[in-house]
Structure 1
Amino acid sequence: MVSERGLAVLRAIVQDYVATREPVGSKSIADKHRFGVSAATIRNDMALLEDEELIAAPHTSSGRVPTDKGYRVFVDQLADVRPLSAAQRHAIELFLGASVDLDDVLARTVRALAQLTHQVALIQYPSISRARLQHVEFVALAPRRVLTVVIADSGIVEQRVVELSADQNPELLSGLRDAANAAVAGVPMADASPVLLGLAAAMPEPVRVLADELVASVISVIEATRQERLIMAGTANLVRTEHDFSGSIYPIIEAIEEQVELLKLFGEMAADQHGVAANRDVTVSIGRENAPFGLAETSVLTSGYGLGGDAVARLGVLGPTRMDYSTNMAAVRAVARYLSHSLGEQA
């Protein structure tokens, strides 16, 4: 069991090691942090922390550095998540306020998050199949060519050109559009397909085939967007911290670019919510907790974003375990809130 002073010593070690990248010794803690006890007493506290595997000596006769377990205890005990400065908040508002659509707002958001944290920033693109259908539109482009537009409440707008087997007519397009919007507006995208198929089957026989083709185009948009993906920025930040990794960073870069493992990790963090009890809406996965995903030397911080308090996807940062957790958590939290607000204004 670690004492209150032991936890304070652990916090000092984490903060000093993050700031300097140098192993931290008892004398430096006693001199800098003014615990009111001798360096010998601090050494005893550090010995207990080492017994608990919260800190370790990278070299003989060196100071101590936090372990993955130590970072986890530090994050779980973290109460002073520093808020962003007024200038930082204004920069986020200004940066995101200029966005014109969902793709633009996500691209701007991930760049802003990378600049704020100096880490790799990641945003999970909201899956249209998890959102609710807001509107369906059919736009005639040519006698046998129609543009199908699907709009979700998460801000996603997807479109597809469908080639028809016969000439379309305005009555068919407007009739099917009105029927679709009356039947499935507000319905989860994943549940919309059977309803749409029923609408096509109920259309008069002369236009049944065309209705089937138009409905199929809507369903194909939904199915095509079930594949989740990430938007990334700041990969160069990982290269700048290469010295914080024991081996090559290229397997980490490959895992990031592959996205599959990261998306699995995002999914587990959303389901497990590890760390949320201590830090509310920011989830933190540290070091060896990420080993199953090929990211054992990294920490990943994420938060959900969405509309009306419902998270439709996650955003976050990835970097070495030696990172400024307090500042990065504040940035992830703030950017998630601003993004949710921005999506609400666009909806």
Structure 2
Amino acid sequence: MASADERRFEVLRAIVADYVSEQEPVGSKALVDRHNLGVSSATVRNDMATLEEDGYITQPHTSAGRIPTDKGYRLFVDRLSEIKPLSTAERRAIHRFLDGASDLDDVLRRSVRLLAQLTRQVAVVQYPTLTNSTVRHVEVVPLTSARLMLVLITDTGRVDQRNVDLGDVVAEDSVALLRDQLNNALAGRKLADAAAKVSDLPEQGPPELRDVMTRVATTLVESLVEDPEDRLVLGGTANLTNNVADFPDSLREVLEALEEQVVVLKLLAAARNPGSVTVRIGEENEDAQMRSTSVVSIGYGSDDLLLGGMGVVGPTRMDYPGTIAAVRAVANYVGRILAGG
């Protein structure tokens, strides 16, 4: 026979399920009618009283049923023994949708749209951080005889373009030599190592190209040094307005917080390992404006390389098993695409 603690957890699980789906406080009679708890309604009432006393559920107003508290949701999430798997059709749709992406920007835009659609919440994806990227190729494109475009391509698909005024006319064979020198020195290196290497390039080339290489190296360093502001893609903000009742006094605060990039980056900071999902519920969120929300986040990349973070922001009244499954699945596909797996 199940212990009293296990029985109460089943009552809590039923309250969470009903409140998430119905958005109404849950009473003991509804629990007995809807769920096969195997005990009398009197026992369910007693269990609910104990859960309320322990802070796992609360009564929003007199004569109402009960709703889960942040503490109740936390216990529910911590005790999830299995995550509701995505259907074969959902997995196939994710694969097809993301495989159609043309470049990094497209991959991340599609990922955000997909996550927002799957979870009906706000989705956010962080661009791959440059410190974890490797130079794949440097292309040198003549714009005029005295002006070049440098195109830096990383292994994560990030592309950065810079124009360089050379101050003098440079022949086509010199441009080819310049391209070879840059790729011999930088291709395959981490960006931090490449930034250190590029400063040596002017001394290593032929004397007649030293001035040109100095200009190129100076411009290239700007692409290799980490941008202090990580870029983010945000989508599905309108989904929050479909759940206004979940934010009776705080929807505006949440929307304002989501506009602040630093707040969103903090939300993703906990996601440090690809494949490992982090759930922050209500008061667990550091930023006061976000304490009416839950954040489900994950790192994406390969087993040994974290490229960035992604996640979902929504009310604490959230389908946690379904949201965790969607976030994990999309992160898995994005990591596979960008890490070349």
Corresponding residue for residue 270 of structure 1 = 271
> Alpha carbon RMSD of aligned pairs, Å?
2.1
Corresponding residue for residue 307 of structure 2 = 312
**Partner AA of 1:298 in structure 2:** T
Corresponding residue for residue 222 of structure 2 = 220
Establish whether residue 300 from structure 1 lines up as the match of residue 277 from structure 2: no
TM-score normalised by structure 1 residue count: 0.91
Superposed CA offset, 1:155-181 (max 9, x none): 112111111222233344333332332
Corresponding residue for residue 56 of structure 1 = 58
Matching residue within 301, 311, 318 for 1:323: 318
Establish whether residue 80 from structure 1 lines up as the match of residue 82 from structure 2: yes
**Partner AA of 1:71 in structure 2:** Y
Query: Aligned partners of 2:303, 2:79: CA distance in 1, in Å?
Result: 29
Tell me by how many angstroms 1:342 deviates: 2.5
Tell me by how many angstroms 1:307 deviates: 4.1
State how 1:137-156 maps to structure 2 within 5 Å: 137-156=139-158
Aligned positions, number: 339
Tell me by how many angstroms 1:188 deviates: 1.6
Query: Aligned partners of 2:78, 2:199: CA distance in 1, in Å?
Result: 50
Pair 1:89–1:309, CA change in 2 (3 A): farther
Tell me by how many angstroms 1:226 deviates: 4.4
Matching residue within 276, 281, 289 for 1:281: 276
Corresponding residue for residue 241 of structure 1 = 243
Tell me by how many angstroms 1:204 deviates: 3.6
Superposed CA offset, 1:121-159 (max 9, x none): 111111223311111121111111101011111111211
Corresponding residue for residue 206 of structure 1 = 208
**Partner AA of 1:85 in structure 2:** S
Tell me by how many angstroms 1:78 deviates: 0.8
Tell me by how many angstroms 1:318 deviates: 0.7
Superposed CA offset, 1:51-105 (max 9, x none): 2211111112321111111111111111231111122122212211221111111
Percent of counterpart pairs with the same letter? 46
Establish whether residue 250 from structure 1 lines up as the match of residue 283 from structure 2: no
**Partner AA of 2:271 in structure 1:** A
State how 1:9-158 maps to structure 2 within 5 Å: 9-158=11-160
8 A contact 2:268–2:311 mirrored in 1: no
Query: Aligned partners of 2:61, 2:39: CA distance in 1, in Å?
Result: 26
Pair 1:224–1:318, CA change in 2 (3 A): same
Superposed CA offset, 1:217-272 (max 9, x none): 211122364420210111110111111113141221111122211102211x124x
Corresponding residue for residue 193 of structure 1 = 195
8 A contact 1:114–1:120 mirrored in 2: yes
**Partner AA of 2:139 in structure 1:** E
Corresponding residue for residue 182 of structure 1 = 184
TM-score normalised by structure 2 residue count: 0.93
Corresponding residue for residue 285 of structure 2 = 290
Tell me by how many angstroms 1:308 deviates: 5.6
Matching residue within 329, 332, 336 for 1:337: 332
Mean Cα displacement is larger for which, 175-184 or 187-196? Answer: 175-184
8 A contact 2:112–2:234 mirrored in 1: yes
8 A contact 1:129–1:225 mirrored in 2: no
Q: Alignment partner of 1:35: what SS?
A: coil
Pair 1:344–1:312, CA change in 2 (3 A): closer
Superposed CA offset, 1:24-50 (max 9, x none): 122222222122111221222222222
8 A contact 2:57–2:69 mirrored in 1: yes
**Partner AA of 2:61 in structure 1:** H
Any stretches of 5+ residues in structure 1 without a counterpart?
A: none
Query: Aligned partners of 1:171, 1:53: CA distance in 2, in Å?
Result: 75
Query: Aligned partners of 2:193, 2:57: CA distance in 1, in Å?
Result: 51
Q: Alignment partner of 1:78: what SS?
A: coil
Query: Aligned partners of 1:256, 1:48: CA distance in 2, in Å?
Result: 37
